[in-house]
Each structure stands twice: as structure tokens, then as C-alpha cells.
Structure 1
Amino acid sequence: MTLTPEQQAEIEAQRARTQPTFRATAPGIEAHLYRAQPVLDHGFVRVVDYMGDDAAIVQAARVSYGAGTKHVSNDEGLIRYLMRHWHSTPFEMCEIKLHVKLPVFVARQWIRHRTANVNEYSARYSILDREFYVPAPDALAAQSTVNNQGRGEVLQGEEAERVLRWLRDDAMQAYDHYEEMLSQEGQQGLARELARMNLPASVYTQWYWKTDLHNLFHFLRLRADAHAQYEIRVYADAIAAMVRDWVPAAYAAFEDYRMGGATLSSRALDCIRRMLAGEEVTQENSGMSKGEWREFEAVLHP
């Protein structure tokens, strides 16, 4: 991870500055405020601001004032009820703003989650840093033979070295040309907004990303999943650790019902009832397609 001296000084200044407040604070996320959590080779995630905590979810659900119930177990039970029955609005009362540094190709996956407020570093006004994502050797995998979206075996030996060399050399050459195209002494140069188009998708960008807890949970359910692409999953894992400290009761319910739970169709439930009754159920007599049956078996036998 690379933080500029200016960014590091800003972080230290923000952490040194404290002031009294009447707003609710969450000690778990306060510990993360402004600190940059390293991700990949040059990336990071850091919490810039937040609003709300577990109590804010409970308060919104009861539409009450003050702290609400004094029984923590009752609050946790209510949060679990809300999660279990897909009552999403109370979770929207909590918000978080993150500063993220990430490769452009990861950002293009990430931005598909359109339920956030985003402000990205502008390469029209500023010059991008010479920083590119180069996978670690154990993340350098071939195309999966069974999944068009997934990875197969890790590349080995000379082939791995050849691919890594191309990734580094191509990125460096593209940046060299990017620099040469920009305005320099005695040269008019190309506009920054045009010169950037030659850079590879592995170049790093930065943005501020603000979202509410309901939509953040949806992001984490998809991107912290084992099937998600590794490069976005490690960001989701880092964020998940922060959310666990921020709203422990809500995160525990999310982990139980969303990450660890499963949604079954009426046809799948019927198959389970038949199995419990002692009937032998197969894909052929289940009424499911081969793909549905494969996913159903994965739920029964993870």
C-alpha cells in the first residue's frame, strides 16, 4: 500500500483532533476512523465518517426517542427479527463513508452496485500515479474449464513468469507513453482527459464511497462470497471486518441469515419434505433442472 506523505499527515491530524458530541458513537468503528487498511499491493480502505449504530436500527424500527429498550438481548432479538423477515428500512438508518484505493477493473465491477454516492479521483484534472495491480503468484490462475466467470489452476514455472513479466512491462510502457503525451517543457502535449485512455485497467484509482447499511450488506453478500472475484473479495473482506466492529448485532444477524443461510424455492422445499418422509429424491424426479439440482445439493452438502 502506498500513502502519500500528505495523506498520512492528513490521517494523523484527523485522528489527533477530538471534540465532544451529542451524536451516537460506536466505539468499534471509532477505532477504524481514518486508518488505512491495506488491500492488494497498492490499495487500501479507510473509514472517513459514519452515522448510527445497532441502537439506531432498533430506534428506527420502534420509531422511538432516546436509547429505547435497556435490554440488549431484546435489541438483538429485534435486529434478528428484522433481518429474518427482510425488513430493510431500519438498516438504512446507518450510513458509512469509505475512502477506497483500487484498480480500475475492480472499480468497474464495484460501481455496478448503484446504491451508493460515489466521487472518484478525476484523471481529467490530475495525473494518475505510476501504480498498477500485479497479482501475487498464488493469484495468477488460468481460466476455469467449468465456469466461464471463474479461475482454474494456478499458473506455474515459466508460464507464470512470462505472464507476470508482460503484466509489469506492458503497464510500465503504457505509463511511459502516458507521461510523454502529457504537456511538458517545450511541448504542447495531449489533454489529460485524452492521455489517460491509453492506461491499462490495472492502474489504481481512488474514490469516496458512501452507502447505507442495508445496501452495504447486499454488497458484502455478493462480494465477500467465495465465488466473487478475488480482487474485489479482499476489499469486501476488509470492509466486513470494519462493519463487524461497527454494528456487531446487525452483522451477526447478517452473517447468520444472509451469509450462512440459503434461499430455497418451493420446489426445493418440497424435495426436502419428501426426503424427510423417507422418499428417495433424485434430479430426475425432483422437477428441477440440472443446474438447480446442483445448487440444491450444494446447499444440502456444502
Structure 2
Amino acid sequence: MARINVVAADELIDKEIQVLDKGFVRLVDYMGGDARIVQSARVSYGAGTKTVREDSALIDYLLRNDHTSPFEQVILTFHIKTPIFIARQWIRHRTARINEISGRYSVMKDDFYIPIEADVKPQSSNNKQGRSEQELPAEVVQNVRQTLSSDQALLYKRYESYIETGVARELARINLPLSLYTEFYWQIDLHNLFHFLRLRLDSHAQKEIRDYARVLASAAEAVAPLAYQAFERHIVKGRKISAEDVEQLLELIEKSGEPGMQKLKEKLEGK
């Protein structure tokens, strides 16, 4: 079967899209697209791609009803540069193939993340793992950024001195902070990329990883625009509701007496 080429995706290949102060996302390669999802879904009865409208409806149906395997036929490979503290969150998604730079083999670069002023915020009072949108005093913000910069410089000089005196790289690196940038290749199928994006685009995710997720989302949209449209419709902007929520909604529909609500009622009842 001939390779599927998507013009918008081809235009992204090897372009570094900056994230944070020194990080980036680069789409290295991709395999498949909307057409591959449709082909794999229709293989059971030998039909390939039809019209865009029919393909869009099929992809929407597959995603809405959790038919995941056709989306696994689309593969994206990224080159990522991100601070280690973000990489540690990233690597929790164990459904990808990853190859990271090793400080045992390579001398690490003098690349550290320093948040911009607008991102230095106080701890949230209702979210134990996040920051609030309130402001800190300007002098506190400046002090945080200045001390981060000076501490990082000091630790890197010590790291360099260990290397220069012959200490093994695998030991010399152990005092480097989590703000150090790392790089890795990350290959993932579209189904699992959507799962990553569902979690990391959410407002409860750390701001820095949301910045990366938005760039990954734009790449996914370029590779498979119909699939991304369905993902955005049903996952990003959709909501899951409990059995109790369903009962309350059915009661409200009954009380309203609105004939136009019948379709929603049938959907809630699973008809």
C-alpha cells in the first residue's frame, strides 16, 4: 500500500516549534492519517476511502464509540526538548516508545528552564498540586528568577569541574537540578496521543506541560484533521456524566415537556 502523505503534516516535518524559553517540539516523521484510519476500519469488507463526508462520519463514530484500534494505525514521531521535571510527568504515559539523551554518555548542555515572570505564581489554595492565578509581589518574583539563575549557574560550574577533574559523567551529573533540559525521541500512535492530550490539555495539568500539549495537538490535527475534529468534539469539549446525572437530566426533560428535547432523552436512555 502506498504511503499516505498529508500536505499540512509534510510542512511541519523537521520544524522546531519553540516551547518555554529553550524547549521545542519537532515532528520527525508520521505514518498514516485520516485515510489510514478509514482503510483499517473498513478492511473487514474490503472498502477503502470514500468521500470526505463519509470518512468524517465514520471516524466520528469510531472515536465516539471507543473503537480504538483504527487510530492506533497512525504513528507520529517527535523530537522533544523539555525540562527534566516535565519529562518525568511525560514519561508516565507508558504507551509510547521513547529514547532519551543519557548523561552517562554525553556531557549535558548548560540549558536550564527559568519561568517567565507571569508564570511565577503562589500555591493554589484548592489544588494541592498546582498554582493559583493570583499574583505574587514583584520583588518575590524577581528574587525567584534571579536565585534560580544563579543556583543553576553554580551547579553547572560544579558539574563542569567534576568532568574536568576526571569524575565519571554518570556521577558528575547527579547534582544537576530538575530544571535542566533533556531531549528525547517520542513515538506514539494517535489513539494514545489523544489520551495524552486529554490529560495534558486539561486545565488541571501543569502549565508548562500544557504548553507542550498544545503544540502536539497542532501536529495531530495536521496529520489527521478529521480524527482531531472528532477528538475535540467528543473528548476535549465533551463531558462524561454519571448515572445520577442522567437521572436528573431525564427528570428535567420530563418536567420541561419540550418536544425538541426528545432526541436528547432518547440518547440519555441509550436508544
Global fold match (TM > 0.5) = yes
Which whole-Å deviations, capped at 9, do the CAs of 1:4-55 have from their partners, x for residues lacking one?
xxxxxxxxxxxxxxxxx94111111100001111000000000111100101
Q: How far apart are the structure 1 equivalents of 2:167 and 2:45? A: 58
| SS of residue in 1 equivalent to 2:127 | coil
Which has the larger displacement, 156-165 or 195-204? 156-165
Amino acid at match of 1:102: T
> 2:266 matched to which residue of 1?
none
> 1:112 matched to which residue of 2?
92
1:135 pairs, out of 101, 112, 115, with 115
Is the 8 Å Cα contact of residues 55 and 67 (structure 1) preserved in structure 2? no
Q: Is 2:77 aligned against 1:97?
A: yes
Percent of matched pairs sharing the same residue: 47
> 2:263 matched to which residue of 1?
none
| SS of residue in 2 equivalent to 1:154 | coil
Q: How far apart are the structure 1 equivalents of 2:89 and 2:27? A: 21
Amino acid at match of 2:58: L
Is the 8 Å Cα contact of residues 58 and 78 (structure 1) preserved in structure 2? yes
Q: Compute the RMSD of aligned alpha carbons.
A: 1.6
User: How far 1:67 moved relative to its partner?
Assistant: 7.7
Amino acid at match of 2:7: P
> 2:157 matched to which residue of 1?
176
Q: How far apart are the structure 1 equivalents of 2:135 and 2:112? A: 21
Summarize the Cα distance change of 1:66–1:136 in structure 2 as closer, same or farther, 3 Å threshold. farther
Summarize the Cα distance change of 1:276–1:67 in structure 2 as closer, same or farther, 3 Å threshold. closer
User: How far 1:274 moved relative to its partner?
Assistant: 2.3
User: How far 1:100 moved relative to its partner?
Assistant: 0.3
Q: Is 2:219 aligned against 1:242?
A: yes
Q: Is 2:223 aligned against 1:277?
A: no
Q: Is 2:41 aligned against 1:58?
A: no
Q: Is 2:138 aligned against 1:157?
A: yes
Give the number of equivalent residue pairs.
Answer: 255
> 2:230 matched to which residue of 1?
253
List runs of 5+ in structure 2 lacking aligned partners: 257-271
Q: Is 2:68 aligned against 1:85?
A: no
Q: How far apart are the structure 2 equivalents of 1:230 and 1:263? A: 24
> 1:287 matched to which residue of 2?
none
User: How far 1:227 moved relative to its partner?
Assistant: 1.8
| SS of residue in 1 equivalent to 2:25 | strand
Summarize the Cα distance change of 1:53–1:66 in structure 2 as closer, same or farther, 3 Å threshold. farther
**Larger RCO: 1 or 2 (CA < 8 Å, sep 6+):** 2
Is the 8 Å Cα contact of residues 139 and 154 (structure 1) preserved in structure 2? no
| SS of residue in 1 equivalent to 2:247 | helix
> 1:75 matched to which residue of 2?
55
Amino acid at match of 1:207: F
Q: How far apart are the structure 2 equivalents of 1:30 and 1:125? A: 33
Q: TM-score, normalised by structure 1?
A: 0.81
Q: TM-score, normalised by structure 2?
A: 0.90
User: How far 1:245 moved relative to its partner?
Assistant: 1.3
